[in-house]
């Protein structure tokens, strides 16, 4: 089945509809690719048997002429933060190793309803806490762009397993979650498209929580159109999630075909950081020309509270994490390490079950929520968050979307920043502001670094205006014509 793992979702759907190949053949090609690429460590759980059953059912629907979902027969991967009924869900943590949920997350249930075929659960930073996919209890994920280079590169995080799987041709699309950049930054590092929808666009029900006011599910794909197709299948109002927006979902994929002409593109002056690599700044400026050439107006805007975004995020997110992770106590599910007393069992379980980065964030979060510090840290951070959101509201009074780099560097080597948490946190400098404001944002591959690694550009839009984000992202995609792929293991 040569070439089946190189298809886009749109191409695969068209081929399946014309019966150029079967869903089982498509699944088999990707299952073989997953098996051949285990050195990347992109998957925690492989679900080959279930994928073949789902693919066979998709073929039966096709042969019977029954109504088919938009992703019917399309192989996808699921970040191991989404609960999947009957399939282990670990959140990349030892404390949940062996946990098999008795229920399905709303997003993955929606994908199943659309006919998507899951080939497995992808690796991630533990509880989605990380920017390099090196904190997983199941080992680090390797970026496929590092194959043959003589050094192992990070794929970005926390959705690094999903990004690596899409980039390496192990699936046609994958789910990710984005709390402060965990879809967009790994998409940039791996040369794929990553879309963080507006907070509330996709249900959080059944997703293992990190920071509840920030977490949002989204698609990771090879093209902007595919991101729209996958988002349409994932999104929708869910009464089980009180933060799910009761809004109808438009045809997101159709926006990718709309010309960019007439759009006003904002360039935030505060994002031009001292020490930014020249190649990233040059790509950003080149993108301004791409938009002008397509009939857009480029306007400088100001987001004056940008400098406070990272410290604000690293107060709010750990605070919410410390609360959400209190449920992992060894009593009801997951790891249990015995102790002579109940309190000792709690301590032993959490000390052994949580990795160093998760423990660090729990401690930070507990501290900023503690008596005497709540007003000074957490309350103040929430006030600054409101100012950051207001900056975006003011900017969108002048422009339709905002253009910025996705990450301050290309992918770096595994181990390069492990001993410096602050350096690791700085990877999120361009992605965190949109997360704090709850806005949709997309990373689109736009070029290569001097070292031959992918660089992404980010489009940020108004709340619940993913269509314009997709429209602008497609304009970058057309102009950049980025079609470079990493070396493939077990290419088929």
Say which of 22, 79, 105, 196 is annotated catalytic: 79
Distance CA(158)–CA(162), nearest Å, equals: 9
Q: Are 185 and 213 in contact (CB under 8 A)?
A: no
Is 136 a residue of the active site? no
Say which of 22, 136, 158, 435 is annotated catalytic: 158
Is 182 a residue of the active site? yes
Is 79 a residue of the active site? yes
Beginning with the edge strand found earlier in the chain, give each strand of the sheet holding 297-301 in spatial order: 43-46, 117-122, 75-79, 173-178, 216-221, 193-196, 441-448, 454-461, 401-405, 264-268, 297-301
Q: How many residues does the chain have?
A: 492
Say which of 182, 203, 322, 409 is annotated catalytic: 182
Distance CA(261)–CA(267), nearest Å, equals: 17
Q: Are 198 and 245 in contact (CB under 8 A)?
A: yes
Q: Which residues are catalytic?
A: 79, 158, 182
């Amino acid at each position: 089945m040569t070439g089946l793992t190189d298809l886009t979702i749109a191409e695969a759907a068209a081929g399946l509809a014309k019966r150029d190949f079967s869903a089982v053949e498509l699944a088999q090609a990707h299952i073989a690719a997953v098996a051949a690429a285990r050195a990347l460590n992109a998957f925690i759980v492989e679900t080959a048997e279930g994928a073949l059953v789902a693919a066979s059912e998709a073929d039966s629907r096709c042969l019977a002429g029954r109504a088919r979902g938009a992703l019917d027969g399309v192989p996808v991967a699921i970040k191991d933060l989404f609960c999947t009924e009957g399939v282990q869900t670990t959140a990349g943590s030892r404390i949940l190793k062996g946990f098999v949920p008795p229920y399905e997350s709303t997003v993955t249930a929606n994908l199943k309803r659309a006919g998507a075929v899951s080939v497995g659960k992808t690796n991630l930073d533990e509880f989605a806490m990380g920017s390099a996919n090196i904190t997983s209890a199941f080992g680090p994920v390797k970026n496929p762009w590092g194959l043959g280079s003589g050094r192992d590169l990070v794929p970005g995080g926390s959705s690094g397993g999903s990004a690596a799987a899409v980039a390496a041709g192990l699936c046609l699309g994958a789910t990710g979650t984005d709390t402060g950049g965990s879809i967009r930054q790994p998409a940039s590092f791996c040369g794929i498209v990553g879309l963080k929808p507006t907070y509330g666009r996709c249900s959080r029900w059944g997703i293992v929580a990190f920071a509840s006011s920030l977490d949002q599910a989204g698609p990771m794909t090879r093209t902007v159109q595919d991101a729209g197709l996958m988002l349409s299948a994932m999104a929708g109002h869910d009464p089980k999630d009180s933060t799910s927006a009761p809004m109808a979902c438009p045809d997101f994929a159709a926006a990718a075909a709309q010309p960019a002409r007439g759009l006003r593109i904002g360039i935030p002056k505060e994002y031009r950081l001292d020490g930014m690599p020249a190649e990233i700044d040059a790509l950003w400026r080149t993108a301004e020309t791409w938009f002008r050439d397509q009939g857009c107006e480029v306007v400088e805007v100001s987001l004056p509270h940008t400098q406070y975004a990272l410290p604000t995020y690293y107060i709010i997110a750990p605070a919410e994490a410390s609360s959400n992770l209190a449920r992992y106590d060894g009593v009801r599910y997951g790891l249990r390490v015995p102790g002579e007393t109940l309190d000792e069992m709690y301590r032993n379980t959490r000390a052994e079950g949580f990795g160093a980065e998760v423990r660090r964030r729990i401690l930070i979060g507990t501290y900023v929520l503690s008596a005497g510090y709540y007003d000074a840290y957490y309350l103040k951070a929430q006030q600054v968050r409101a100012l950051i959101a207001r900056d975006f509201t003011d900017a969108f009074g002048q422009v339709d979307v905002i253009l910025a780099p996705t990450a301050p560097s290309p992918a770096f080597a595994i181990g390069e920043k492990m001993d410096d948490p602050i350096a690791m946190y700085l990877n999120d400098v361009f992605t965190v502001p949109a997360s704090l404001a709850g806005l949709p944002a997309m990373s689109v591959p736009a070029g290569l670094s001097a070292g031959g690694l992918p660089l992404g550009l980010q489009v940020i839009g108004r709340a619940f205006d993913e269509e314009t984000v997709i429209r602008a992202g497609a304009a970058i995609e057309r102009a950049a014509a980025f079609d470079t792929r990493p070396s493939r293991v077990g290419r088929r």
